[in-house]
């Protein structure tokens, strides 16, 4: 699986005709690092998500969701019980969200 986060970053960057060399310094990194993030070979730091969301004029929530997808996938991809674990996790997250809404 390619990085959904990285693919979305590249798509948004290219749609706005921005080059790696223009975006990378705004994230305080070099172009090679940003290229690796787009290719799914490296992860962006979570605290950088709002910065890149602002640069690319997209919702921070959208990018955070894709970033989390990549994080979760990395942890469970080789696990035999991955789907069962994700199902249990989904149930627990729903319970937690209900408590927070009260």
Q: Digits of tens for pLDDT over the chain (102 positions)? A: 579 999 999 999 999 999 999 999 999 999 999 999 999 999 999 999 999 999 999 999 999 999 999 999 999 999 999 999 999 999 999 999 888 887
Give residue 86's pLDDT.
95
Q: Could you give phi then psi for residue 39, rounded to 5 degrees?
A: -85, -5
* DSSP label at residue 18: -
Please answer whether residues 56 and 15 qualify as being in contact, where contact means their C-beta atoms are separated by less than 8 angstroms: no
Superfamily of domain 4-101: lambda repressor-like DNA-binding domains (1.10.260.40)
Task: Provide the token pair at 81.
Answer: 């019980």
Burial of residue 31 (CB within 10 Å: 0-12, 13-18, 19+) is middle
Give residue 15's pLDDT.
97
* DSSP label at residue 102: -
């Amino acid at each position: 699986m390619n990085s959904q986060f990285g693919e979305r970053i590249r798509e948004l960057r290219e749609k706005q005709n921005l080059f790696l060399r223009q975006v990378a310094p705004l994230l305080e990194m070099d172009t090679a690092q940003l290229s690796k993030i787009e290719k799914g070979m490296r992860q962006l730091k979570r605290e950088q998500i709002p910065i890149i969301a602002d640069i690319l004029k997209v919702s921070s929530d959208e990018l955070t969701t894709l970033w989390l997808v990549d994080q979760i996938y990395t942890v469970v991809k080789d696990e035999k019980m991955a789907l069962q674990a994700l199902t249990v996790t989904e149930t627990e997250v729903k319970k937690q969200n209900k408590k927070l809404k009260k």
